[in-house]
Amino acid sequence: MFKKPFLTALTILSISTSVHAEPDEDIRRLMNDAPTMLDFGIFRLERFLNTSGETSYSRVTYDWGSNRIIVSNRFFDGHTIREAEATQKCRVWINAMREIAGIELATGELQSWKSSSEFTRFFLHIGDVEQEHADHDADEKALDTRFYLSYIVADVVNAANENFSLTCEAPLFGTGFSVSY
């Protein structure tokens, strides 16, 4: 007899006294801070590269000091490798990135039917991807010059049995790359 009114009163009491949490200042700032097209492009390009097969674990970052969008990756499989093999791994990865971006490997230039690299499209507003006009093409070409490739091979040994990491870097356009230790 008292069971039903007691449960009803308890339910009403629990609803009326429930704790109402609100976002703190840090969360409110994040909720009101929109990402830029640079942020969104970095996210989209990195997601694309990491779902395109052999290029998993690629990172895309912006380097303020050099004004570059850096596409990077790292090779380490737990075994020491020779310098020549490490350099070959760099060549393979850099060429794969260039091919994905639409760069002709023999010339280091954009494939003839493209107006910009495939990397650039991730930094455009979705409605502007197919937009064709001179200013838009110039903006895309300027953005293309900002992409830079960096591949690090860890645990490399040279002819003198010295152990080091080998870093290969290159602009998106071109046919070669530089090596540093």
Domain spans, the chain: 35-180
pLDDT number for residue 81? 84
Q: Between the CA atoms of 91, 94, 97 and 102, what dihedral angle is there, to the nearest 10 degrees?
A: -80
pLDDT number for residue 72? 95
pLDDT, mean of each 10-residue run, the chain (181 residues):
57 56 82 85 93 76 95 85 89 94 95 89 69 64 93 82 86 93 84
Q: How far apart are CA 170 and CA 179, in angstroms?
A: 9
What residue type is assigned to position 12 of the chain? I
pLDDT number for residue 14? 58
pLDDT number for residue 11? 60
Q: How far apart are CA 111 and CA 20, in angstroms?
A: 58
Q: How many CB atoms lie within 10 A of CB 110?
A: 19
Q: How far apart are CA 87 and CA 158, in angstroms?
A: 11
Note whether 150 and 167 are within 8 A (CB).
yes
